[in-house]
Amino acid sequence: MTIHELVVAVRNGDADGVRRLLDDDVDADMLDPDAGVPLLCVAVAAYDEDVVDALIDAGADSLAVLPDGSTPVRRAVDGGSIEMVSALTRDPVRFPEGVRHELLELARRWAGAGVAAELRRRSGDRGPVARVVVGDRDGDEVYEQFSVGGLTARDGHDGILTALEASFGVRAPFEEVLTRALVRRNRDHAVWFQAAHTLSRRLDEETWAAAVALGRSEDRLRRLFAAELLLFLGLGSCISSYAPFEERGTEVLLPWAREERDPEVLRAVLNALTENWSPEIEELGRSYLTHPDAGVRCMLPHTLELGESRLVVRPESLKTVFALARDPEPRVRSAACTWLAEYPGHDPGIADALARLVHEEDQVTRIYAVFGLAHQDDPRCVDAERHIGPVDPETWSDTWMLCAVDRYRQRVAKQAAGSG
């Protein structure tokens, strides 16, 4: 292993290569020979969370002081990515009180000034600011990324402040965390998710009461945030399985869903509601069969999720899904197809509904339709398989579903051999 190989791997974003090379006891704090900074700073500047994780796992020091007085973690805060900062502060015990205060103030300063203004101040460039929307590593949340005067930063500083407070044991007021989330007015923004995630980890009556009260707000964005927060609170801790509000969501969400008129908020309420099951939830779901918003209709099958106490839904609910499978909106048909393909029963009509969906334009829908036919032991799955077309393994890696027809053939052959 050469130092050059590790530098190249970091620059190329080859996290597996970085881990493999670092297994040779190489110093994870080595400098990039061209940039003159630790490789950790190079990965931070590239917003490469996988490489950052690899370097941190190998012992890279996020608090190493550089000649300019900065540290990798300070640079991460400047960069505005919540994920970057979280990766570099995963062990908060290592951070002295003074460093904690410094990082909190740095995040607060960026959040207060605004990304474009702070970049202009630092670069001295008064020219136009380039702006682009970018996704996080998993593509679940987005940021707006700003560039000017050779400097780049993302607009996640409100979320960084929220994450650092939680990590360092600072309990910010509910309303303050909420205000940070609502600045971008975008539920897909990383700051929004961080606020909801942080508040949901509190799992106390004060936070539950605040979320319930927020659901009665006249402001649709505040209601939207409340619905998502109630979902997270109901799920409880992913670490300890402690879920004190697991059984209390329905009493709040069911009447709310009946009254909510905003489609986006209603979708969020239904999403939270469907973590539970009851006849009332199923009845409510069926009432949305003709709802004008396709997104709400897509949520309908989830209200019919099978409870542990019974294996199949009521016949009238199954008929509702059949109707969704004929919906004029493709994404609604896709939602119905997914549900029917995974349905455990073999009720009449399921195979016919799936067979009508093997010609859908959306390939994922076709994959589910063929999988469902094979699961139903319907011989039409053999001919339907050719309608799937070539599958890109980069976008669809579930080989189990793609081999469903092969398993069907094996079952048929085994039965034929047994009967012979």
Predicted confidence (pLDDT) per residue in 32-66, tens digit: 999 899 999 999 999 999 999 999 999 999 999 99
Q: What pLDDT is stored for residue 44 in this prediction?
A: 98
Averaged pLDDT of the chain: 94
> 3-class DSSP state for residue 130?
strand
Question: What's the mean pLDDT in 208-232?
Answer: 98
Judged against a pLDDT cut of 70, whether residue 420 lies above it is answered with no
Helix (H, G, I), strand (E, B) or coil at 374: helix
Burial zone of 94 (CB within 10 Å; 0-12 exposed, 13-18 middle, 19+ buried): exposed
Q: What pLDDT does residue 184 have?
A: 86
pTM (predicted TM-score): 0.91
Task: Inform me whether the pLDDT recorded for 309 exceeds 80.
Answer: no
Q: In the numeric block, which tokens belong to residue 70?
A: 């900065």
Does the structural domain 1-61 have CATH classification 3.40.630.30? Answer: no
What is the model's pLDDT at position 25? 74
pLDDT band at 419; cut points 50, 70, 90: low
| Confidence class for position 239, pLDDT limits 50, 70, 90 | confident
% helix / strand / coil in the chain, to the nearest 5?
60, 5, 35
Domain with CATH 1.25.10.10 in the chain: 317-420
Q: Tell me, what's the pLDDT at 416?
A: 87
Name which residue leads in pLDDT, 404 or 279.
404
The answer on pLDDT for 281 being more than 60 is yes
pLDDT at 225: 98
**Could you give the CA distance from residue 273 to residue 268 in angstroms, rounded to a whole number?**
9
pLDDT of residue 23: 83
Side chain identity at residue 7, one-letter code: V
CATH code for residues 317-420: 1.25.10.10
* Confidence class for position 308, pLDDT limits 50, 70, 90: low
**Nearest residue to 215 (alpha-carbon basis) of 224, 223, 225, 203:** 223
Mean pLDDT to the nearest integer, 210-214: 98
pLDDT given at position 296? 98
Please give the structure tokens belonging to residue 172: 């910010």
What is the average pLDDT across 238-245? 85
What pLDDT is recorded for position 292? 98
Question: Are residues 318 and 329 in contact, defined by beta-carbon separation less than 8 angstroms?
Answer: no
Mean local confidence (pLDDT), 361-385 = 98
Query: Are the C-beta atoms of residues 18 and 32 closer than 8 Å to each other?
Result: no
Of 137-141, 155-159, 281-285, 366-370, which range is least confident? 137-141
* Start and end residues for every CATH 1.25.40.20 domain found in the chain: 1-61
Cα distances (angstroms) measured from residue 183 to each of 157, 269, 384: 11, 22, 49
